[in-house]
Every structure is written in C-alpha cells, then in structure tokens.
Amino acid sequence: MADVHTGVPTRFAPPRLSKSKFLSGLQCHKRLYLEIHQPTLATPPDASTQAILDMGTEIGILAQRRFRDGVLVKAGFRQREAAIAETAALLQDPMVSAIFEGAFEYDGVFVRVDILERVHNSETGTSSWRLIEVKSSTRVKDVHLDDLSIQSHVVQGVGLRLAATCLMHIDTGYLYQGGEVELQTLFSIEDVSEAVTDRRGRVPERLIAMKAMLLNSEPPEIEPDQHCHTPYECPFWAHCTKEKPQRWIYFLPGKKEIVGQLVRQGIMTIDEIPDDTRLSDVQRKVKDNVEWTSSELGRILRSVSYPIHHLDAETVMLALPRFPSTRPYQSLPVQWSNHIELESGEVMHQEFLHGEASEPRRRWAEALIESLGEKGSIVVYSAYEEALLRQLAETFPEFKSAFKAIVKRLWDLLPVIKSHYYHPDFNGSYSIKSVLPAVVPSLGYGDLTIQEGGQAAAEYYRMVFLESDWVERDSIRQALLRYCARDTLAMVELRRVLEKKTREVRP
C-alpha cells in the first residue's frame, strides 16, 4: 500500500520491539528506524566489538552458575512463541528456583530476561521474582537502568510480581587465588529497584512515540552530533555523516561543549571558527591546520643514547580471571616487540608472544629483561609500559630491581611530539595510528590484518581461548606479531624522519 500523494509505502502496524531496539530508540529515533527498516546501512561490528560481545555471553553463562537450581529456557531466540510457553510452564513449577533467559511479550515488546530468581513467601505461600540483568561491566550505568526499565515494564505487564530489580556485574576487587572461581565474590548484585521505578514510569510514553515514528515512510530528520556516541557508538555514523564536509565542526577533537556553542552560532566547519574563540591547544592546532615544529625538537630527539630500544607491549584484559593473583579486567602482558637501533644505523628486531592459555607474565618479563639488556634508551609511545612494569614489580618482587632500572631508561616519544610537532593530517589525534602515516606516508597500518590495540587484544583472546583450528591460530599469531612489530618500527621511523626535518629547518 502506498501513500496516495507521495507514492511512498505506508505502514499500518509498528514492528515488534526488543529491549535492544528500545535502547536504540532512546539513543536516537533515527537509529531505531534504520535498524528496523534499513539495517543494511549499518557498519558491521568489527572483530573487537564482536569479541566484547562474546566475552559478555561467556560472563552471562557463568553468572547462571551462581544460581545452582536454575533452569534455562531452551527455545532459541528465533523461537519466540515456544520460549514464551516454556517460560510460562517454569513459572508455574514451584520447584524451579530461578529461570534463565525467560521470554515475555507485552505492549509489542519481546524480551528475554537473563535471570529471574524466585522469592518464596512462606506465610502467604506465594512467589514473587527478583529480575536480574547480567552485565560484564564493573558498575551500574544509566543505560543499564533503561534496560531494566523496559524489562520490568514487560514482565509486570504480563502479571509477574517483582520483589526487586537488580543488576549483576563484575566486582574488580575480586582477587582470584586459583582453583574454582568464587562466583559469590566475582559478581556483585545491586538492587536498583528505586532507580528503575522512576524510568519504568516513562516507558509507556516512550514506546508510543517510538511506535508512531516507525509508521512513517521516511526516517526522522535527526542531525548527527554527540548523541551518536552515547551510550554506544551508533553503527549508522558513517551513513549519517557521509555527506558532511571534511572539516565538519563535529570532527573538532577534544571536549565537545564548545562544538555545541559554535553550532548554535551557525558555524558548521572548523575553518569558520572565529579567531577569538577559546579553544584547547590541540583544537587550536586543528583549526590552524598547518605543520609546526618547535625549535627544541631536534635537541630533544638527539638526547637518546645508543643502543636505542623501541618497545611496545600488548596486553589482554580478562573479565573472568584465569590465573592466580589476578583480578577481573587486570591488564596481563602477553606480547612485546623491540626494535633496536645501533650507533652504526643498523636496526635489529626481537619479539615475544605468549601463545598459550597459561600464566603469561613471568615468561614475558624474563624475555623482556634479556632483550633490553642494561644499556641505551628505551623509546615508548605513552606511559603505558611504565605503568605495566610498576604493576608487575608489585606482583613479582624478583623482577623489581630489573624493572626499576628499565623504567629509568624509558624515553616517551608521545609527549615529545605533542609538545614539539604538529601535522595537519593528525586531525588533532596524537595516536601513533594517526601520527605515523602523516609523518612517514610510506608506512601506515592499512596493510595489516590487525590495525589497533583493541582488535589485537580481541584476536589474542580468540587465538588462545576460543580457536581450535591450528591453521587459524597460526594466522592470528602472525597477524599479532606483524602488528606489534609495526608499532615499534613506527617509533624508529618517526624519530628518524622528525630528526631529519629538524635538520632541514635549522638555519
């Protein structure tokens, strides 16, 4: 059926929503509309996002083990009616103390609830339920309360009595000592009933607005801005911004309050920003958009001593700790790369990758200490390696004096570039991924399978804990080695090219 005036198809019944669709609608009506009617316009999740989702699934399954006599609703996510019927039967069975993945539909919204725990009232002989949402995060966030508000709207709508609404999340204070994971300590359960009740009251009006919007033949006209990144990165960002100019005002880095003020004045590109606007140092450099080198840069770059090591460490953070003396989400070093530049100009490369599901830290540290030796500067890019070494020294006192000596030799290239050099192609970012191709155009990350740290951590997790095919494991291993080696080769080339530039500009 088409609109008689426009010829555009019209829709009569709004599609069924889910809790994730409801959350999309809270972030942006246009996002919800596109997810329902034009999902192919979304950018697919990358490997890192997928790994985070996989880790969330693993945590969800582990959380169920905390409720020993719970029963899982077996019907899959596409078997909506079967899942609802299975849930209804379990609710009626007084022997079932908890239900996992219970399915409910009300008001045009279908939800699966992570955990429903039966609360039995022995005086009245009746049951009510604790609704528990499991998250792999470490604290309660606003978006979790919204998530619980739509779930409680649906389950209460079908007549379930809720004793409490709770969020179950990871407690980073838990120190794993080996053996069985103590689920009672690993997970915190917070009763957030009061905070959810406030939001629950607004659900009906929000649903009405979303459903009405979804009946339109076109998506709502909503301009992309800060809301596209909170609480989640919207997958339609590339679609919504594809016609924006290269120097669009929202590409100005740093705090976005100033961007809001400028937009209200009608300023839409970075080049239109008035000269007297108060900008941060980085924002000013992006606005000026010219290459700049401080007179100090050459002297500072020449202050390193040979042999010059160039070090990068890669880590993995496990929500579920697997090795004794580790906490949830603790950074565990698993890989390093070291490019060593000798006074002769020769460059050597050494590397380490812990490729199995065992405690990585001791072997990582021993190999690193040997590679770095006792002489020369150790160039790094950020303070991350120093923090990692200090943390490891606390856990492994036997490495303390070696790490102390290494830390004294660290030489951080990042603050040097930040304070003494700028290139327009940085676009306000001092990440090595932005800096390298701008300063050394022949060397970037575009040819690599793994192109950033989050992806490296996700791929490492896949290689060690998930992948069973040795060919695939080896291909991930090679990609990880190439990625880490590129980070340290990048530092060698950045130092050399920048130092050469300072000689060119010297009088």
Q: CA–CA separation, 71 vs 495, rounded Å?
A: 60
Report the residue number, 23 or 240, with the smaller CB distance to ligand SF4.
240
**Position 28 contacts ligand SF4 (CB under 6 A):** yes
Q: How far is the CB of 30 from ligand SF4 (least distance, A)?
A: 4
Token duo for residue 158: 């079908």
Which of 42, 84, 163, 222 binds ligand SF4 (CB under 6 A)? It is 222
CA angle 427/454/422 to nearest 5° reads 20
**Position 42 contacts ligand SF4 (CB under 6 A):** no
Ranges within 108-137 binding ligand SF4 (CB under 6 A): none
Beta strand residue intervals within 175-283, DSSP E: 187-191
Which of 25, 70, 224, 428 binds ligand SF4 (CB under 6 A)? It is 224
Q: Measured in whole angstroms, how far is the alpha carbon of residue 420 from the centre of its chain?
A: 30
Question: Which three-class secondary structure state does DSSP give residue 146?
Answer: helix
Q: How far is the CB of 33 from ligand SF4 (least distance, A)?
A: 8
Q: How far is the CB of 27 from ligand SF4 (least distance, A)?
A: 6
Which of 54, 97, 158, 237 binds ligand SF4 (CB under 6 A)? It is 237
Ranges within 415-434 binding ligand SF4 (CB under 6 A): none
Token duo for residue 277: 């606007």
Token duo for residue 137: 């995060």
Strand partners, 98: 70, 117
Tokens 């890669």 label which residue? Answer: 314
- Stated as kind and residue range, the H or E segment containing 321 is none
Q: How far is the CB of 149 from ligand SF4 (least distance, A)?
A: 20
Q: How far is the CB of 279 from ligand SF4 (least distance, A)?
A: 24
How many chain residues are in contact with ligand SF4, going by CB under 6 A? 13
Residue of 104, 93, 49 lying closest to 71 (CA atoms): 93
**Position 240 contacts ligand SF4 (CB under 6 A):** yes
Which of 19, 21, 30, 118 binds ligand SF4 (CB under 6 A)? It is 30
**Position 236 contacts ligand SF4 (CB under 6 A):** yes
Q: How far is the CB of 244 from ligand SF4 (least distance, A)?
A: 11
104 in Cβ contact with 155 (< 8 Å): yes
**Position 31 contacts ligand SF4 (CB under 6 A):** yes
Q: CA–CA separation, 495 vs 488, rounded Å?
A: 11
Q: CA–CA separation, 382 vs 109, rounded Å?
A: 47
Q: How far is the CB of 234 from ligand SF4 (least distance, A)?
A: 3
Which stretch in 3-11, 219-227, 264-272, 274-282 sits in contact with ligand SF4 by CB under 6 A?
219-227
Question: Which three-class secondary structure state does DSSP give residue 33?
Answer: helix
- Stated as kind and residue range, the H or E segment containing 347 is strand 347-353
Q: CA–CA separation, 87 vs 155, rounded Å?
A: 11
Report the residue number, 251 or 329, with the smaller CB distance to ligand SF4.
251
Residues that bind ligand SF4 (CB under 6 A): 27-28, 30-31, 34, 222, 224, 227-228, 234, 236-237, 240
